[in-house]
Structure 1
Amino acid sequence: MSFFTFLEEKITEILFQLFFLALVAFLLIFYGVDMLFVVLLVILFISIQGLFQWCLYRKKRNVSQHIIDLVDGLEETYYIADVLPKPKEFQNEAYYYALKKACKSMNDEIGKITEEKQDYQEYVESFVHEIKIPIGALSLTFDNTKNYTLKKETDKIFQLVEQMLYYARSENTEKDYFVKQLQLDEVIHNVILKFRHSLMERKTIINIHDIENVIYTDEKWLTFILSQIVQNAIKYFDKQENKLTIYSQDNGTNILLVIEDNGCGIKAS
């Protein structure tokens, strides 16, 4: 807020003071006081009043900037009512009270939503772990009976369930993330084995090379991401001769993994 904007808010007070000053000046002149003395008195009053208003403006601007800095420094700005200094002005106390009530109501609502979300996430995780047991039993049965059609469909169900679990955990990866040393080729081969029946059914030509690298990451999450990529590649194969190429590049400070397929792709438009 500029100084002139600040003065506009106090226009009524300033006009009253100017009216009072003019009245005093008129009375002094009426009673024969020297004109020069009256003019100097008016100039002195206006100067002192201007200086006072400027100091008051600077003080209020510093208070406002302090509040802005408090807000900018908070990660959860809905806690601002708890750190704001309580105002002394009568009108501002009402605004402060309204802000406190609004923030408390909002924080209560956030707490309720967070608790409901946590309960739902725990239910999803519990459901996934429970449903994996019968899915695994079906998959093993179809594998033993060499019924690869049903085996493939069972594997699809397993992948969808796995996907649901990872999406449910995606906002709290720090609780489910364990970085360790891995062989990149082993992780990739395990992913390819998971989709071997689908790849064989599509008569996919697989070209894997230059993946003998040591990497540091979370094995479960890397396997999940690679599984999603390979699953999508299989889904969108549309050629007589489908190809899947996987290789890596060692850039010194990082390992770049490249996965290419010759599926339908995405139109530039």
Structure 2
Amino acid sequence: MYFTNHLRWWLLFILINCVTLGIGLLDIAVNNLSIVYIVIINTVIFLLFAIYHYFKDRNYVKELMKMEDVEDIEGLPVPRLVFNRALHERLMEVKKSHNTRMDAESVKTKENIDETTRWIHDMKMPMTMLKLLLDDTQGTERVKLLNEWQRLDGMLNEMLYMKRLPNIQNDLYFETVELGPIISRSINKLRPLCMEKDIGFDVEITEATVETDVKWLAFIIDQIISNSVKYTVNDEIRVESRIADDAMLLTVKDHGRGIRPEDLPRIFEAGFTSTSNHDDIQSTGMGLYLAHQAAEAMNITINATSEYGKGTEMALTFAKQNRYHKLKAM
């Protein structure tokens, strides 16, 4: 690379030596041996300079070519050549400008998140009042209205957690969590829809506690159970916790529509909706994506197994020990 970058120097040097030799051959008054000596001396001097120049800032150029991020500029060796020093100063100016823009964008993003979060919380008040009014209503339309209310409440929660997700590491608080109450709350939220679709729950919590963040775990379980309820009719959903391979395992198994084999690897992708019911306008394709991203940040593994037409099982695997437990213990 060094030779390629300085090819013009080498060509100019060769041209000068060729001209010098040409003059010596054309001018009979000039001793040819003297011309050869001059060319040899010039070549030695040039080669010594090229070697010096190559090794002078080799480490700087080598590290510069390996640089992948603007923050890596700080770790570059101190340049010794004038051109490289000027280049380094310019890179530092670019880094400073980049950080200034990033800080400005960070402030805008935080303001946007705060504004959206505030709006969602403001919406929760009329949603609560609406729920109280719906609880006092009677008749066949009550269940339909409650289902629509539940769907709207779920969409607001989905938006709230979507905004929180980029900064989830700052939002996590690990503690000993009881699984039973979380699962019960998640099921009760869907009670009107479950009654309408004649869905029952078989809950068996063998392992009752786990070390995790209660708020984000509740969100993950909400997404998984609501998905099972959505695609199940006149059947039972089994929720079970147990120890498997020295880790806590929570499974939610239904006998609903199931997932096509070609869809299964994609269910945790943002915006993906099932190909078997692609015209379902109620599905955003974001619930399982957000649940998967949150679980990954909490060192929880989500796996899905399914047989199309027979049902789906979603499994949450909680590691016995992880980096958050160690931090908490310190």
Q: 1:268 aligns with which of 244, 261, 279?
A: 261
Q: Hey, what's the Cα distance between the residues in 1 that align with 2:93 and 2:2?
A: 31
Q: Hey, what's the Cα distance between the residues in 2 that align with 1:165 and 1:32?
A: 89
Q: Hey, what's the Cα distance between the residues in 2 that align with 1:32 and 1:267?
A: 89
RMSD: 3.7
Alignment: residue pair count:
258
After superposition, residues 1-150 of structure 1 pair within 5 angstroms as 1-3=1-3, 5-19=4-18, 21-22=20-21, 30=29, 35=33, 42-43=39-40, 45-68=42-65, 71-72=67-68, 74=69, 77=70, 80=73, 88-89=82-83, 93=86, 106-145=98-137, 147-150=142-145
Gaps of 5+ in 1: none
Q: 2:191 aligns with which of 175, 191, 196?
A: 196
Residue 24 of structure 1: how far off its partner (Å): 8.1
TM-score (norm 2): 0.64
Deviates more, 1:20-29 or 1:173-182: 20-29
Q: Is the alpha carbon distance of 1:38 and 1:191 closer, same or farther for their aligned partners in structure 2, counting shifts above 3 Å? A: same
Residue 115 of structure 1: how far off its partner (Å): 2.6
TM-score (norm 1): 0.76
Residue 128 of structure 1: how far off its partner (Å): 1.6
Residue 220 of structure 1: how far off its partner (Å): 0.9
User: Which structure's CA Rg is the greater one?
Assistant: 1
Q: Is the alpha carbon distance of 1:48 and 1:251 closer, same or farther for their aligned partners in structure 2, counting shifts above 3 Å? A: farther
Q: Hey, what's the Cα distance between the residues in 2 that align with 1:94 and 1:179?
A: 47
Q: Is the alpha carbon distance of 1:43 and 1:245 closer, same or farther for their aligned partners in structure 2, counting shifts above 3 Å? A: same
Q: Hey, what's the Cα distance between the residues in 1 that align with 2:240 and 2:10?
A: 74
Q: Is the alpha carbon distance of 1:68 and 1:213 closer, same or farther for their aligned partners in structure 2, counting shifts above 3 Å? A: farther
Which residue of structure 1 aligns with residue 218 of structure 2?
Answer: 223
Q: Hey, what's the Cα distance between the residues in 1 that align with 2:53 and 2:27?
A: 30
Q: Hey, what's the Cα distance between the residues in 1 that align with 2:88 and 2:207?
A: 65
Residue 177 of structure 1: how far off its partner (Å): 1.6
Task: Determine if contact 2:17/2:39 at 8 Å carries over to the other structure.
Answer: no
Q: Is the alpha carbon distance of 1:89 and 1:174 closer, same or farther for their aligned partners in structure 2, counting shifts above 3 Å? A: closer
Q: Write the deviation string for residues 144-201 of structure 1: whole angstroms up to 9, x where unpaired.
A: 4464443333233222212211111111112322111012223212211221221122
Task: Determine if contact 2:21/2:35 at 8 Å carries over to the other structure.
Answer: no
Q: Hey, what's the Cα distance between the residues in 1 that align with 2:23 and 2:56?
A: 30
Residue 114 of structure 1: how far off its partner (Å): 2.7
> What amino acid is the match of 2:187?
I
